[in-house]
Amino acid sequence: MSSHSKPFGEFDLIERFFKTAANSLRTNANQAITLGIGDDCALIKPRAVEEIAITSDMLVEGRHFFAGANPELLGRKALAVNLSDLAAMGARPIGFTLAIALPTADNTWLEAFSKGLFAMAEEYSCPLIGGDTTAGPLTISITAFGALPKGEAIRRSGAKPEDDIWVSGTVGDARLALAALRHEITLSSEDLQQIEHRMHNPTPRIELGMQLRNIASSALDVSDGLLGDLSHILKQSQVDAEIQLDKLPKTDTLQKQDLQIQNQFAACGGDDYEICFTASASQRDNIQAISKSIGLPLTIIGKTVPKKDDAVKVYLLHESGALLSDAEAAPFLKSFDHFAS
Amino acid sequence: MSSHSKPFGEFDLIERFFKTAANSLRTNANQAITLGIGDDCALIKPRAVEEIAITSDMLVEGRHFFAGANPELLGRKALAVNLSDLAAMGARPIGFTLAIALPTADNTWLEAFSKGLFAMAEEYSCPLIGGDTTAGPLTISITAFGALPKGEAIRRSGAKPEDDIWVSGTVGDARLALAALRHEITLSSEDLQQIEHRMHNPTPRIELGMQLRNIASSALDVSDGLLGDLSHILKQSQVDAEIQLDKLPKTDTLQKQDLQIQNQFAACGGDDYEICFTASASQRDNIQAISKSIGLPLTIIGKTVPKKDDAVKVYLLHESGALLSDAEAAPFLKSFDHFAS
C-alpha cells in the first residue's frame, strides 16, 4: 500500500483521486469492511459463519485489451472479470484492491476509467479498499474478495457422473465481436454494436452464483472458452463429459453465421464470463426456478459420464446422439488436449 | 484466476510451475487457508476472533527495480515489501496472491525468482494461494493477507501528543546503496556488499509488529522515507512531531559519510522497510524488552506534540534541542510538505 519509490506529484494526485471515489462509495459499504483505504492494510471481518473467497486477475494493454480501448468500459471489465470468479464460487462481493501501472497521468482517461470501475463497484456493492498506483506500462491488477457461508463454496471438484452440465446466458459472442473487429467476418452495424457490448461489458453472474449454492455440484466461469474451461471441472472431479453442440446457447446474431463458426465460437470462443456448472438431474426444477427468478436463461448442454481412461475426455455429440467424426471434432481440439471422437 | 486470453503453452507451464511450488509449501500452510490454488477463488477462514489485514503492492521493472535485477532477490523483495505492510499493522501472515506479467518464459529467471519468492514465503509461513500469469512488460503484483485479533490492528491514527516516536533497525542504508550504484558516492567493496544487501533483501519486521499490538499507539512501515512516511501518522493522528536528527539509527557504513548525507539519507532515503511507531512513554520498558527478545534495535527518535496549526508539522532539532535553521532544514523539505523550522 505504498509506492516504494520516491513520491512523484502526478501519481500522488491519482492516488487521491481513487481514494476520494472509494470513500464516497464506502458510505454504503459492506459491513465486512472494518478499515478501508489509507493505512498500511485494509481490514475485513467476515461473520463467524463465513469464509472469504479471494481472486486475482491482471489485465495488460495489448494482450487483454487493445491500446486505446474505451477507458470507461475497461474500468467496468477489469472489476467484472474478478467478480465473475467470485460468482463461480457462489460468493457475495465484499471489496477489492486495485494495483495499477499507468504510463502517464492522463486526467481524461482516469476519470473515464474510474467512472466505469466505480459504477461496477457500486452495482455489486463491492468497494475499493486499498491498492497501489505507479508509473509503468498500462497494467491493471485487481484482487477481489467475497463472503460465503462456511463450506458452501461451489468448487470445481464436486461433479458426479450423470450430472447435468449447464451454462448461463449465451456463449461465443465475445469471440464473434473479436472476429468482426479483426475484419475476419462482417456484421451489420446493429449486430456489431450488440455483440461488442458482450465483449467489452460482460455481466458478472453474482446472483446466479449465490443461488446455486447447495444446488450446483461444481462451477466455474467461462473465460478461456467453454470446452477448455469445462476440462478443469472434469479433471478436478475425475469425470468425462458428453456435450451436444446443437444445445450450446447462442444469440440470434451468432446464429446468423455459418454453423461451423457458430459451434467453434460457442464451444471455444472465450471472454464469455458466463457460468458453466454441473448439478444432479434432481435439481432441474430448482434451477429452472432460479433462471426465471433472476431472468437469465440457463441451458443444459450435456452431462458428465464415468471416466474411462487416465485422461478425462469430452465426447462431442450430434443432435442425433451420434459422436462427431475425427474430422468434425478436429477444430475443437485446439482448445482441449483430450478430446474423444 | 484465469488468463482471460487464449491459453498459450509457455504460460501454462509457468502457471504449473508456481502451482507445484505453492502446493509443496501448502503442506505446512496456515490453518486459515481452506482452499489454495486451482479453483476460481482461494478460500480463507479466519478464527472467529480475528480480522483479516489486506495489502497490495505492484513492482514495475525500471521503476522499482533495475532491468536485469537478480531474480532471486527480486522474488524475496516482492513478497517482503507486502509482508512489511502486514508487520506495520501487527498482523500474522496467512497467505498471498501473485499476479505477474512476464515478457518471455525464461526458465532460468523463473526458477531463481520463485526460489527467492517461496523461500520468503516459507520463512514467514505465508503460502501462495492464487493468482494470475500473463505475457507483458515485467510487472509483479502481490496481495498479501494477515490475521490479527479483532480490534488490535495498529493503525496510523492512534498517536497521542507526547508519545515517543520509535524506529526499528537502521534507516538510510538502501538510499546509500542507491547512491553508490549511481556512482554518486564511492564505497569500499565490503561496505557496498553489506549495504546492497539492505537494499535488495529487506527484512519484514513481522515479529516486531505482532509484539507491538496493544503497546504501540500507531505504526507504519518506512518505504518512501522516514519523515515523509511519518507525516501519514501525524496527519491521521492530528499531532505534530519533534525529531532529533542525531538520534536517527544509522549503520557504521552510513556513519562514514558526510554528516549532511547521513542525515539526508536516514531521514528521507526510502526503501528501508523498518517500522516507525509511536507509544506512550510508559511503554519504554516493555518496548526495550521486545527489542531484546527479538534481537532488533529499537530507537526513540523524537516525540509527538500537540498540533498548532491546520497542517501538521515536523520540528527538526539539534542535539542541543535547538530548532534547525531554515537553511539547515531545507534539504529535508523535499520529502515533506509541512516542515517547521
Cα dist. A271→A75, A326, A333, B224, B285 in Å? 16, 27, 18, 39, 59
Q: What is the secondary structure of B137-191 as a DSSP string?
A: S-EEEEEEEEEEETT----TT---TT-EEEEES--SHHHHHHHHHTTSS---HHH
Q: Confirm if B129 and B22 have CB atoms less than 8 A apart.
A: yes
Tell me if A139 and B143 make a contact (CB, 8 A cut-off).
no
For residue B208, what pLDDT is reported?
98
Closest to A276 measured CA to CA, from A253, A255, A247, A310:
A247
Spatial separation of the C-alpha atoms in residues B40 and B38, rounded to whole Å: 7
CATH 3.10.20.740 fits A9-149, yes or no: no
Q: Confirm if B204 and B80 have CB atoms less than 8 A apart.
A: yes
Tell whether B164 is in a known binding site.
Answer: no
Using a CB–CB cutoff of 8 Å, tell me whether B270 touches chain A: yes
The low-confidence residues of chain A, meaning pLDDT below 50, are 1-8, 27-29, 336-341
Tell me if A129 and B54 make a contact (CB, 8 A cut-off).
yes
For residue B35, what pLDDT is reported?
86
Instruction: Mutation target for B interface from A34, A39, A47, A96: give the one with most B CBs within 10 A.
Output: A39
Distance from A63 to chain B by nearest Cα, in Å?
Answer: 7
Tell whether B224 is in a known binding site.
Answer: yes
| pLDDT tens-digit map of B70-106 | 999 999 999 999 999 999 999 999 999 999 999 988 8
Q: Confirm if A92 and A211 have CB atoms less than 8 A apart.
A: no
Task: Locate the domains of chain A by residue range.
Answer: 9-149, 164-340
CATH 3.90.650.10 fits B164-336, yes or no: yes
Distance from B139 to chain A by nearest Cα, in Å?
Answer: 8
Cα nearest neighbour of A60 on chain B: B136
Cell reading at B135 = 505475457
Q: What value of ipTM does the predicted structure carry?
A: 0.87
For residue A23, what pLDDT is reported?
63
| β-bridge pairing A298-306 and A164-168 | antiparallel
For residue B287, what pLDDT is reported?
98
Cell reading at A15 = 492516488
Tell me if B53 and A46 make a contact (CB, 8 A cut-off).
no
Closest to B58 measured CA to CA, from B127, B139, B137:
B139
For residue A27, what pLDDT is reported?
42
Q: What is the secondary structure of B53-87 as a DSSP string?
A: EEEEEEEEBTTTB-TT--HHHHHHHHHHHHHHHHH
Distance from A15 to chain B by nearest Cα, in Å?
Answer: 13
Cα dist. B35→A28, A150, A222, B38, B130 in Å? 30, 12, 20, 8, 9
Burial class (CB in 10 A: 0-12, 13-18, 19+), A7: middle
Tell whether B337 is in a known binding site.
Answer: no
Cα dist. B164→A103, B217, B232 in Å? 41, 10, 16
Tell whether B336 is in a known binding site.
Answer: yes
Query: Please, which residues have CB within 8 angstroms of residue A204's CB and are 6 or more apart in sequence?
Result: A80, A81, A83, A84, A86, A87, A124, A273
Tell me if B86 and A41 make a contact (CB, 8 A cut-off).
yes
For residue B81, what pLDDT is reported?
96
The low-confidence residues of chain B, meaning pLDDT below 70, are 1-16, 20-30, 333-341
Reported as half-sphere exposure (CB side, CA atoms, 13 A), residue A66 has a value of 9
Q: Confirm if A145 and A128 have CB atoms less than 8 A apart.
A: no
Of the candidates B85, B129, B137, which has its C-beta nearest A40's C-beta? B85
Give me the residues of A, 243-262, that contact B with CB < 8 A: none
CATH 3.90.650.10 fits A164-340, yes or no: yes
Give me the residues of B, 168-197, that contact A with CB < 8 A: none
Give me the residues of B, 203-242, that contact A with CB < 8 A: 219-221, 223-225, 228-229, 236
Using a CB–CB cutoff of 8 Å, tell me whether A93 touches chain B: no
Q: Confirm if B128 and B96 have CB atoms less than 8 A apart.
A: yes
Closest to B22 measured CA to CA, from B35, B4, B6:
B35
In the block, residue with C-alpha cell 498548532 = B308
For residue A212, what pLDDT is reported?
98
Tell whether A85 is in a known binding site.
Answer: yes
Spatial separation of the C-alpha atoms in residues A108 and B334, rounded to whole Å: 29
| pLDDT tens-digit map of B215-236 | 999 999 999 899 999 999 999 9
Contact list, B86 vs chain A (CB under 8 Å):
40-41
Query: Please, which residues have CB within 8 angstroms of residue B225's CB and are 6 or more apart in sequence?
Result: A6, B267, B268, B269, B270, B335
Tell whether B39 is in a known binding site.
Answer: no
